[in-house]
Amino acid sequence: MSDLLPKSEILLWKLLLTGEEPTKSQVKPKHRTKELKLLEEKGLIECKTVVEKGRRITRLVLTDKAWDWASTTPPTAIARSKSPEAAVVLQKALATLVDYAQRENVPLARILGLRPRIANRPSLGGAAPVPTGQTQPWEVSEGEVDPNFLEKVFRTCEEMGGRYYLVYLSDLRKRFPDVPSWLLDQALLTLHRQAKIVLMDLDDPLSITPEIKAAAINLYGYDKHVLRVRN
């Protein structure tokens, strides 16, 4: 846990997220001189004197050490701080997270670790609900894929000729109509990491139809549309 005051953590995160360089009188949450001095002594901020409109003004500027601090200190002070600025940090952090999710084509629910509760709900195909106490193959702990489901996905890739031909993810998804797309993605990424399959993109942009594009998996910032089973 950080040894800083909650309001100091909020201040640092606010400056990190907004890029503001306030004067001492503009600092929010409000800090006394000795509290700002402590942040300066820790090397997290520095005072920079600039000339604006013919006047010398001292502004607070974040240091590289502040960025290092942020990489290991999440903004948990939001829950402990009574300052209204905590809401500013939360709003800006969420907006940044949404922008990242859209840019990387990653569902926000996946980043937040959310997953649907499938038990006792009818499947998309209208099948009967799963009896209480039983689970679908994708109802596993966060970050895990049921080994049986993983094997089923791999065997399906083989059955679709994956050892000899490219398997389009758009076609593969049709084999699992009742499985959440995020879970099938997780299974395929696991098989890719295990070197059982290779996720690949299509070289010809003209061959990428809307259906193929929608079924792609984003890997390291690149869309993968097809796969091959490793021999």
Query: Tokens 């549309």 sit at which residue?
Result: 225
Q: How far is CA 8 from CA 2, 44, 195, in A?
A: 10, 10, 46
Q: Which residue has the higher pLDDT, 37 or 204?
A: 37
Task: Of 119-128, 155-164, 183-192, 200-209, give the lowest mean pLDDT range.
Answer: 119-128
The amino acid sitting at 30 is K
| Residue 138 pLDDT > 50 | no
pLDDT digits (tens, 9 = 90+) for 196-221: 999 999 888 888 999 999 999 988 77
Q: How far is CA 201 from CA 44, 106, 211, 212, 231, in A?
A: 43, 17, 14, 11, 19
| Residue 136 pLDDT > 70 | no
Question: CA neighbours within 13 Å on the CB side: how many for 156?
Answer: 18
Q: What is the pLDDT of residue 127?
A: 39
Asked if the peptide bond before residue 122 counts as cis, ω within 30 degrees of 0, the response is: no
Strand runs (DSSP E) across the chain, as ranges?
45-52, 55-62, 167-168, 197-200, 217-219, 222-224, 226-229
Sign of CA dihedral 215, 216, 218, 219: positive
Please tell me the pTM assigned to this model: 0.51
Highest-pLDDT range among 11-15, 46-50, 140-144 = 11-15
Q: What is the pLDDT of residue 143?
A: 53
How far apart are the C-alpha atoms of 31 and 20, rounded to whole Å? Answer: 16
Domains of the chain: 6-104 (1.10.10), 147-229 (1.10.10)
130, 145 Cβ separation under 8 angstroms: no
What does the pLDDT average to over 23-52? 91
